[in-house]
Amino acid sequence: MKYDPSKIEKRWQKYWQEIGIGKADNNSSKKKKYILTEFPYPSGEGLHMGHLRPYTAGDVYSRFHRMNGFEVLYPIGWDAFGLPAENFALKKGVHPRISTANNIENAKKQLLSWGMSFDWSREINTTDPEYYKWTQWIFLQLFKAGLAYEATGLINWCPSCKTGLANEEVIDGKCERCGTVVEKKELRQWYLKITAYADKLLDGLKYLPEWPGPVKLQQENWIGRSEGALIKFSILHFQFSEELEVFTTRADTLFGATFLVISPELAKRWIDSGWQAPDDVGKYVKISLAKEERQRTAEDKDKTGVDTGVKAINPANKKEIPIWVADYVLGGYGTGAIMAVPQHDERDKEFAKKFGLLIVDEPLVPINEAIEKFGTKKIQYKLRDWVFSRQRYWGEPIPLVHCDKCGIVPVSEDDLPVTLPEVEKYEPTGTGESPLAAIEEWVNTKCPECGGDGKRETNTMPQWAGSSWYWLRYADPKNKNELADKSALKYWTPVDVYFGGMEHTTLHLLYSRFWNLFLYDQGYITEKEPYLKRIPHGIVLGSDGEKMSKSRGNVVNPDEILEKYGADTMRMYELFLGPHESTVSWNSKGIVGVKRFLDRVFGFIFDESAPESKTVHKLIKKITEDISSIKFNTAVAAFMQFLNENVRLNKKDWEKFIILLAPFAPHATEEIWHEVMKNKDSVHAQLWPVYDSGLILDEKVKIVVQINGKVRDMIEADSGLTESEAKELALGSEKVKKYLKSGNIGKIIYIQDRLINFVV
RNA sequence: GCCGCUGUGGUGGAAUUGGUUUUACACGCACGACUCAAAAUCGUGUGGCCUCACGGCCAUGUGGGUUCGACUCCCACCAGCGGCACCA
Scanning residues 176 through 215 of protein chain A, those with a beta carbon under 7 Å from any atom of strand B turn out to be 213-214
Within A68-95, residue ranges assigned H as helices are 83-92
Which nucleotide's C1' sits nearest to the alpha carbon of A759? B68
pLDDT of A741 reads 66
Separation of alpha carbons A204 and A220, rounded Å: 11
Average pLDDT over residues A753-760: 80
Is residue A230's beta carbon less than 7 angstroms from any atom in nucleic acid strand B? no
Confidence band for A427, pLDDT divided at 50, 70 and 90: confident
CA of A338 to C1' of B76 (A): 38
Separation of alpha carbons A204 and A206, rounded Å: 5
The strand pairing partners of A715, in sequence order, are A703
pLDDT of A589 reads 86
A614-626 exposure pattern, b = at least 16 Cβ within 10 A, e = fewer:
bbbbbbbbbbbeb
pLDDT of A742 reads 60
Residue A148: pLDDT over 90: yes
Residue A706 lies in a domain: yes
Is residue A604's beta carbon less than 7 angstroms from any atom in nucleic acid strand B? no
pLDDT of A8 reads 94
CA angle A670, A70, A578 (to 5 degrees): 65
Among A265-269, A733-737, A750-754, the range of highest mean pLDDT: A265-269
Residue A710: pLDDT over 80: no
Q: Are residues A327 and A377 in the same domain?
A: yes
Residue A397 lies in a domain: no
Contact A143, A135 (CB under 8 A): no
Which nucleotide's C1' sits nearest to the alpha carbon of A712? B21
CA of A343 to C1' of B1 (A): 19
Q: Are residues A740 and A685 in the same domain?
A: no
CA of A655 to C1' of B38 (A): 38
pLDDT of A299 reads 52
Is residue A468's beta carbon less than 7 angstroms from any atom in nucleic acid strand B? no
Q: Are residues A665 and A748 in the same domain?
A: no
DSSP conformation letters of A605-643: ---TTSPPPSHHHHHHHHHHHHHHTT-HHHHHHHHHHHH
Separation of alpha carbons A536 and A216, rounded Å: 12
Is residue A301's beta carbon less than 7 angstroms from any atom in nucleic acid strand B? yes
ipTM reported for the complex, 2 dp? 0.94
Separation of alpha carbons A401 and A455, rounded Å: 5
pLDDT of A101 reads 94
Residue A746 lies in a domain: yes
The pLDDT tens digits of the residues spanning A303-359 come to 899 999 999 999 999 999 999 999 999 998 999 999 999 999 989 999 999 999 999
Residue A435: partners with Cβ closer than 8 Å, 6 or more residues away: A391, A392, A393, A423, A425, A426, A427, A428, A429
Which nucleotide's C1' sits nearest to the alpha carbon of A337? B88
Scanning residues 561 through 590 of protein chain A, those with a beta carbon under 7 Å from any atom of strand B turn out to be 576-579, 582-585, 587, 589-590
CA of A636 to C1' of B48 (A): 30
pLDDT of A294 reads 66
Average pLDDT over residues A45-69: 95
Separation of alpha carbons A141 and A466, rounded Å: 15
pLDDT of A239 reads 81
Scanning residues 472 through 531 of protein chain A, those with a beta carbon under 7 Å from any atom of strand B turn out to be 502-503, 506
Residue A393 lies in a domain: no
Write out the residue range of the structural domain in which residue A497 sits: 19-134+464-541
CA of A710 to C1' of B57 (A): 14
Residue A79 lies in a domain: yes
Count the neighbouring beta carbons within 10 Å of the beta carbon of residue A414.
6
Contact A296, A327 (CB under 8 A): yes
Diameter of chain A by CA atoms?
A: 107
Which nucleotide's C1' sits nearest to the alpha carbon of A640? B25
Using a 7 Å cut-off to protein CB atoms, list the covered nucleotides of chain B: 1, 3-5, 11-15, 19-22, 24-28, 41-42, 68-70, 81-88
Q: Are residues A675 and A718 in the same domain?
A: no
pLDDT of A588 reads 86
Is residue A327's beta carbon less than 7 angstroms from any atom in nucleic acid strand B? yes
Q: Are residues A688 and A703 in the same domain?
A: no
Average pLDDT over residues A91-119: 94
Average pLDDT over residues A701-723: 78
> Cis omega (within 30 of 0) on the bond before A159?
no
Per the model's pLDDT, the better-predicted residue between A293 and A672 turns out to be A672
Is residue A226's beta carbon less than 7 angstroms from any atom in nucleic acid strand B? yes
CA of A751 to C1' of B17 (A): 15
Separation of alpha carbons A615 and A627, rounded Å: 18
Residue A403 lies in a domain: no
Average pLDDT over residues A208-220: 92
CA of A299 to C1' of B77 (A): 26
CATH number of the domain encompassing residue A679: 1.10.730.10
CATH number of the domain encompassing residue A478: 3.40.50.620
Is residue A746's beta carbon less than 7 angstroms from any atom in nucleic acid strand B? no
Separation of alpha carbons A735 and A748, rounded Å: 17
Confidence band for A650, pLDDT divided at 50, 70 and 90: very high
Q: What is chain A's alpha carbon radius of gyration, rounded to the nearest angstrom?
A: 33
**Looking at residue A753, what DSSP letter applies?**
T
Residue A300: pLDDT over 60: no
pLDDT of A743 reads 64
Confidence band for A17, pLDDT divided at 50, 70 and 90: very high
Q: Are residues A607 and A517 in the same domain?
A: no
DSSP conformation letters of A113-144: HTT----GGG-EETTSHHHHHHHHHHHHHHHH
SS3 A320: strand
Dihedral sign from CA coordinates of A209, A212, A213, A215: negative
CA of A707 to C1' of B69 (A): 10
Q: Are residues A230 and A355 in the same domain?
A: yes
Residue A298: pLDDT over 70: no
Scanning residues 525 through 544 of protein chain A, those with a beta carbon under 7 Å from any atom of strand B turn out to be none
Residue type, A46: G
Residue closest to A486 by CA, chosen among A476, A497, A477, A496? A476
Which nucleotide's C1' sits nearest to the alpha carbon of A583? B81
pLDDT of A551 reads 77
Residue A427: partners with Cβ closer than 8 Å, 6 or more residues away: A90, A393, A435
Q: A455 a known binding residue?
A: no
Q: Are residues A675 and A703 in the same domain?
A: no
**Looking at residue A676, what DSSP letter applies?**
I
The pLDDT tens digits of the residues spanning A169-203 come to 988 888 888 888 888 888 899 999 999 999 999 99
Is residue A222's beta carbon less than 7 angstroms from any atom in nucleic acid strand B? yes
Scanning residues 241 through 260 of protein chain A, those with a beta carbon under 7 Å from any atom of strand B turn out to be 247-250
Q: First vs last Cα of chain A: how many Å apart? A: 61
**How much of chain A, in percent, has pLDDT values that exceed 70?**
98
Residue A307 lies in a domain: yes
- Read off φ and ψ for residue A165, nearest 5 degrees: -130, 155
Q: Are residues A528 and A562 in the same domain?
A: no
pLDDT of A415 reads 95
**Looking at residue A211, what DSSP letter applies?**
S
Roughly what angle, to the nearest 10 degrees, separates helices A129-144 and A508-521? Answer: 70
Scanning residues 5 through 64 of protein chain A, those with a beta carbon under 7 Å from any atom of strand B turn out to be none
The continuous run of DSSP H or E covering A62 comes out as helix A49-67
**Looking at residue A344, what DSSP letter applies?**
T
CA of A449 to C1' of B23 (A): 74
Residue A267 lies in a domain: yes
The pLDDT tens digits of the residues spanning A585-617 come to 888 889 999 999 999 999 999 988 888 888 899
DSSP conformation letters of A497-552: EEEEEGGGTTTHHHHHHHHHHHHHHTTSSS-SSSEEEEEEEPPEE-TTSSB--TTT
Is residue A303's beta carbon less than 7 angstroms from any atom in nucleic acid strand B? yes
Which nucleotide's C1' sits nearest to the alpha carbon of A590? B27
Residue closest to A322 by CA, chosen among A282, A289, A281? A281
- Quote the number of domains for chain A: 4
Domain boundary among A329, A354, A381: A381
**Looking at residue A216, what DSSP letter applies?**
H
Average pLDDT over residues A237-258: 91
Which nucleotide's C1' sits nearest to the alpha carbon of A594? B26
Q: Are residues A526 and A582 in the same domain?
A: no
Confidence band for A749, pLDDT divided at 50, 70 and 90: confident
Domain boundary among A679, A694, A709: A694
pLDDT of A84 reads 77
Separation of alpha carbons A184 and A69, rounded Å: 55
Average pLDDT over residues A15-31: 97
Q: Are residues A305 and A359 in the same domain?
A: yes
Is residue A641's beta carbon less than 7 angstroms from any atom in nucleic acid strand B? yes
CATH number of the domain encompassing residue A292: 3.90.740.10
Is residue A600's beta carbon less than 7 angstroms from any atom in nucleic acid strand B? yes
Domain boundary among A671, A694, A717: A694
Q: Are residues A232 and A316 in the same domain?
A: yes
Which nucleotide's C1' sits nearest to the alpha carbon of A707? B68
Question: What is the residue-averaged pLDDT of chain A?
Answer: 92
Which nucleotide's C1' sits nearest to the alpha carbon of A329? B86
CATH number of the domain encompassing residue A751: 3.10.20.590
